[in-house]
Structure 1
Amino acid sequence: MAEIRDLRVEIDGRAIVDGVSLRVLPGKVTALVGASGSGKTTTGLALLGEYPAGAHVTGDVRVRADGLVGHVPQHPAAVLNPARRVSALLTDIARVQVSHLPRGQRRAEARARVLHALAEAQLPNAEALLRRHPHQLSGGQQQRVVLAQALLLGARVIVADEPTTGQDALTKSRVVEHLATVAGRGIAVVLIGHDLDVVRSLADDVVVMRAGRVVESGPAQRLRLTPRHPWTRELFGEQKELPSPGRPAPDGPAGAGQPVLRVRGLTARHRDGAHGTTVVLRAPGLDLYPGECLAVVGRSGSGKTTLARCLAGLHRDHDGDVLLDGTPLPDSVRDRSRAQLAAVQYVFQDAHAAFDEHRPVLHQVARTAVRLRRADADTATREALSTLARLGLTKDLVRRHPGRLSGGELQRAALARALLARPRVLVCDEITSGLDTITRRDILGLLTALVRDRDDLSLVLITHDLDTAAMAHRIAVLDAGEVVEQGPAQRILTSPSHPFTVSLVRRRN
């Protein structure tokens, strides 16, 4: 069992968690829910004894003496050593556990334990994944590797921070089933989540937080059916309709002019060390027209992020061309001109990893205008403050360092930074997957307004969520690294032709 009593966490005199108490019981799933910045993650990390730098902490946190606490963070890349392959990351843990065996049996037993942990974490094709480095995995795959680490360690309490972030519906259901199985083995699970469908299906108890305080708590079924607090009612209420792009989908060159971005004969690979390379993406042809939103959907590991990184020059190991206004872009971001860098901007799924922890957010956002548009420092700062304010970020907030912002706040700052380049193509990689429904709706509304109001801006929206994809003009569907179907969003979502797309739409409905 683990327990938190009257926890208060202050940073610079501001309470980010104030008077929080909860009990986490063996075999039970306790969900912490609330908007981005409500204090959910800070509360969950308190069970590990981890707090933000410079925090003043009062209250009591108790974990049973034999209760090792494992952590599956929302942004797993931050805790995976980028220089080591997945096999090394997991085998280091397994070796300690088999050290009592005769020397000749240790290697085989350690490998068996690693493969079992990967299977428990719902990672298929484990043999191939073991040879890769963390950056060669999708965000969802990285998350499940960290879950496998926690299971290997024998954790009695697992703090799972948005464990279904960036996951397709099938993988999400498997992760939910596995966490339920983990709880069934007597392990306490603390689920930090914005995905209320997951909370409804998995949680035994729910703690609702707002502005660092607990506003309501109790059995999940009671909160879902008869919530007492207005914020709980809003959070668990019917999801409002997501925004639509606001203009007809372009039919092609005749209706929309020439594509701003084209993909031709793209084949991307991952290097597997001594084992050579593995093809992870084949995209014979994709077009993006001016003022268009193109959603790229598919399961975790299907190649969506690899495609996005190829567009932005972040994945060099590929054949084929990415053309901007008919001119091939260099494969590597290092070889692209200042104008080409500004034209195609990338907003990462893991906003925390995309910022320098040692410099204020405002400085990093303004730096984009200085570096890519040669704006002077004062002009860049004014533009940055204006753009950040439009995204709901105050002057006081953005003068802080990234570690002092919530995930949702930092994701908005990352979007502002990309916009300061005045891009023609904005590539957004699962940027709403770790956000609560209210913040998610706000950011998608902003993206919709940007595409609607600026004829010179096009959007590539990488997502696993078909409800999010429905806001796009067109959808491209990836499965196992292949583009299996593409076309107008309305047709794809109502009358798909490929069996895989049919299965995705069926799960959505």
Structure 2
Amino acid sequence: MSVGSGSVVAELRELRVEIGGRAIVDGVSLRVPAGRVTALVGASGSGKTTTGLALLGEFPAGAAVTGEVRAAGRAGYVPQHPASVLNPARRVSALLTDLARTRPRAERRGLVLGALSDAQLSDPEGLLRRFPHQLSGGQQQRVTLAQALLLGAQVVVADEPTTGQDTLTKSRVVDELAALAARGIAVVLLSHDLDVVRALADEVHVMRAGRIVESGSADGLRLTPRDPWTRELFDAERPFTPPDTEPGEPVLQIENLTARHRRAPVVRIPRLTLHRGECLAVVGRSGSGKTTLARALAGLHRAYDGEVTLDGTPLPHSLRDRTRSQLAAVQYVFQDARASFDEHRTILDQVSRTAIRLRGATEAAAREEARSTLGGLALTEPLWNRRPAALSGGELQRAALARALLARPRVLLCDEITSALDPVTRRTILDTLTALLRTRPDLTLLLITHDLTTAALAHRVAVLDAGELVEEGPANQILTRPAHPFTTALTRTTARLQGT
């Protein structure tokens, strides 16, 4: 196969990958042209990553593989979690220089610096002295991209490169991958972020249950989908509207809060109030202090000055000093639901335990309430007695929500709980939260998110930038007529990614 512009540089023919007799990729054929972006989209478990890794010649341990994989040159990989592939004990200079060792010694440093620049990393000289843990997630991602460039990759497989990233960082990732394609490198994008796919992909392949069910342009698939799953996938991206409920009296109030990490102030909130029955979305870039704020409210981050009051009563800074009723009143749902569960106990046991521990319910009553709540969140009975490893990410996130609800909280803190989910599962979770506001008028929801589309379902939006509260007001006003330059940049970048 030739590797000229537009020519096919990698190809799969009738690829089938089985593990334990179950096909996780089933009859996939795919052609990857040079200088173009080919996207694979679908739900978690649809076979995207296995298909992408097959282009690198990599398969799961113990897999039975049939079909054909052809490649005209080297392939590089940009993983979803780049820290997992960067040796933490080696500086960036060592990680990259090793890949240039076949070139004359005098050329190596220049090649390394050039690869870092091509990966759009500022201050390449300064980065060479750092270890991976001293880099942000975005910087780690671009270092893995620099590694692929040093290897002379003609195909780059980017696996969920924007998961958990704020809008401005997403835009930069789009620009980076578009620059690769402009240089004639084939880019294979594995993603559930349809905004990024629309902004970047030349051709989109929709996967479900290991098969490609439909292919075409992003706009074509959105406007005239043929497969029901494609229709459901794009329909899940329809706009949100604020809840049709009216917020009541103040419940949680923040006064002069300054949170610190290692004595350095990272969040400053002069005043912020949450009302009964209200959804408040807190938005901002990664590292802006959103999670630190939520953890301070929950008693998980106690290094702060100022006061947080619940119904006018100050809350202790540490959850260890809070009463059972205070613990029950403010509940936290974590971004990484899987890490928040005990892997050795069933879902039903862990959900019901909340009512026993925080409300003093009997075991029988707690288990009955847990069954009812899990069922109300569309988690079917066969899942209740399974351990966390047997549930999908979306199922676990709903189980985490059920566990928090069994405390009968006044305030529910949801920290980026949909950022790693596919559009359909994300829609299900967010529709569930909207329904909760209608059915539980005493519940107040604080939604931490970097996604302005998600923020549209809130009554009010508060914007954080570099730890400062820069803007706050009704959601429609903030999202359509922002006053602060940072919020304006967020809304404009979101519109650009969405093509509006």
**Superposition TM-score, scaled by structure 2 size:** 0.80
Q: Equivalent residue of 1:242, what SS?
A: coil
| Structure 1 pair 328–66 and aligned structure 2 pair: CA distance change class (3 A) | farther
Question: Judging changes above 3 Å, is the alpha-carbon distance between structure 1 residues 293 and 96 closer, same or farther for their aligned structure 2 residues?
Answer: same
Gaps of 5+ in 1: 251-255, 272-276
CA shift for structure 1 position 208:
0.7
Asked whether the 8 Å contact 2:160–2:189 carries over to 1, the reply is: yes
Match of 2:301 among 303, 311, 315: 315
In the superposition, relative to structure 1, how do residues 77 and 99 fare at CA in structure 2: closer, same or farther (>3 Å)?
closer
**Which residue of 2 is the match for residue 261 of structure 1?**
252
* Aligned match of 2:498: none
Pick one of 256, 280, 283 that aligns with 1:297: 283
- Of 136, 143, 148, the match for 1:148: 143
Matched residue SS, 1:449: helix
1:468 aligns with 2:465: no
Name whichever of 472-481 and 344-353 sits farther off: 344-353
Cα-to-partner distance string for 1:97-150 (whole Å, 9 max, x where unaligned) = 4779999999x9899689758x726899x87x969958xx9xxx5255234334
- Look up the equivalent residue of 2:98 and give its one-letter code: V
- Cα gap change, 1:298 to 1:59, in 2 (>3 Å): same
Answer with 421-430 or 31-40: which moved more. 31-40
Deviation of 1:228 (Å): 3.2
1:59 pairs with 60, 66, 79, which one? 66
1:345 deviates by 1.9
Partner of 1:38: 46
Q: Which moved more, 1:393-402 or 1:295-304?
A: 393-402
Corresponding position of 1:412: 398
How far off is 1:461 after superposition? 0.7
Alignment of 1:430-449 (within 5 A): 430-449=416-435
Match of 1:386 among 372, 375, 383: 372
CA distance in 2, matches of 1:223, 1:161: 21
CA distance in 2, matches of 1:123, 1:296: 31
Per-residue displacement from partner, 1:224-269 (whole Å, max 9, x unpaired)?
5654334334434594342421213x4xxxxx33x32222222223
1:340–1:102 CA distance, 2 compared to 1 (3 A): farther
Are the equivalent residues in 2 in contact too, given 1:37–1:407 (CA < 8 A)? no
Distance 2:494 2:435 in 1: 25
Per-residue Cα deviation, 1:353-374 (whole angstroms, up to 9, x for no partner): 3344555444443443344344
Correspondence for 2:201: 203
| 1:120 corresponding residue in structure 2 | 120
**2:10·2:72 contact (CA, 8 Å) conserved in 1?**
no
Alpha-carbon distance in 1 for matches of 2:197, 2:399: 28
Distance 1:355-1:22 versus aligned 2 partners, 3 A rule: farther
Change (3 A) 1:382 1:103: farther
One-letter code of the match for 1:486? E
**Residue 357 and residue 92 in structure 1: after superposition, are their counterparts in 2 closer, same or farther (change >3 A)?**
farther
Secondary structure (helix, strand or coil) at the match of 2:446 reads strand
Q: In structure 2, do the counterparts of structure 1 residues 201 and 339 end up closer, same or farther at CA, with 3 Å as the change threshold?
A: same
Match of 2:4 in 1: none
Q: What amino acid is the match of 2:144?
A: Q
Report the 3-state secondary structure (helix = DSSP H, G, I; strand = E; otherwise coil) of the residue aligned with 1:502.
Answer: helix
**Whole-angstrom CA distance in 2 between matches of 1:25 and 1:310:** 49
Structure 1 207/115 Cα, relative in aligned 2: closer, same or farther at 3 Å?
closer
Q: Distance between the aligned counterparts of 1:337 and 1:5, measured in 2?
A: 61
- Seen in structure 2, the aligned counterparts of structure 1 residues 131 and 292 have a Cα distance that, compared at 3 Å, is farther
Which residue in 2 is equivalent to 1:341?
A: 327
- Greater mean alpha carbon deviation, residues 277-286 or residues 232-241: 232-241
Q: Out of 161, 183, 207, which is 1:163 matched to?
A: 161
Q: How does 1:165-244 map to 2 (within 5 A)?
A: 165-220=163-218, 222-224=220-222, 226-236=224-234, 239-244=237-242
Partner of 1:478: 464
1:253 aligned partner: none
Q: Alignment partner of 1:413: what SS?
A: helix
- In 2, Cα distance between the equivalents of 1:333 and 1:243? 34
Q: Residues 400-459 of structure 1: CA distance to partner in whole angstroms, max 9, x if unpaired?
A: 444444333332232223223322211112222333333322221110111222122111
Q: 1:284 to 1:190 in 2, by over 3 A?
A: same
Cα distance in structure 1, aligned partners of 2:103 and 2:322: 54
Residue 463 of structure 1, CA deviation: 1.6
The one-letter amino acid paired with 1:297 is: V
Root-mean-square deviation (Å): 4.0
Looking at CA atoms only, which structure, 1 or 2, has the larger radius of gyration? 2
3-state SS of 1:164 partner = coil
2: CA distance between counterparts of 1:142 and 1:264?
Answer: 32
Counterpart of 1:120, as a letter, is Q
Percent identity, aligned pairs only, is: 61
Q: Secondary structure at the match of 2:214?
A: strand
The one-letter code of the counterpart of 2:273 is: D
Q: Shift of residue 326 of structure 1? A: 3.0
Q: Do structure 1's residue 70 and structure 2's residue 77 form an aligned pair?
A: yes
Deviations 1:268-292 (A, max 9, x none): 2334xxxxx5432211111111211
| Maintained 8 Å contact 2:37/2:202 | yes
- Cα distance change, pair 9–460 in 1 and its aligned pair in 2 (3 A): farther
Deviation at 1:31, TM superposition (A): 1.1
- Aligned equivalents of 2:193, 2:52: Cα separation in 1: 17
Cα distance in 2 for partners of 1:47, 1:357 equals 33
CA deviation profile, 1:63-105 (whole Å, cap 9, x unmatched) = 74963542422x6677789xx6xx9674552363477999999
Matched AA of 1:70: Y
Map Cα deviations across residues 312-347 of structure 1 (whole Å, 9 max, x no partner).
233333322333333333333444444333322222
Contact residue 291 and residue 455 of structure 1 kept, 8 A: yes
Please say if residues 415 and 447 of structure 2, whose CA atoms lie closer than 8 Å, have aligned partners that are also in contact.
yes
Is this contact kept in 2: 1:166–1:463, CA < 8 A? no
How far did residue 475 of structure 1 move? 1.2
User: Deviations 1:154-209 (Å, cap 9, x if unpaired)?
Assistant: 46344433322333333222211111113334444332222222212211221112
Paired with 1:100 and 1:305, the residues of 2 have a C-alpha distance of 45
Equivalent residue, structure 2, for 1:270: 261
Unmatched 5+ residue regions in structure 2?
A: 1-8, 496-500
User: Is residue 93 from structure 1 mapped to residue 74 from structure 2 by the alignment?
Assistant: no
Q: SS of the residue aligned with 1:120? A: coil
1:17 and 1:429 map into 2 onto residues whose CA distance is 33
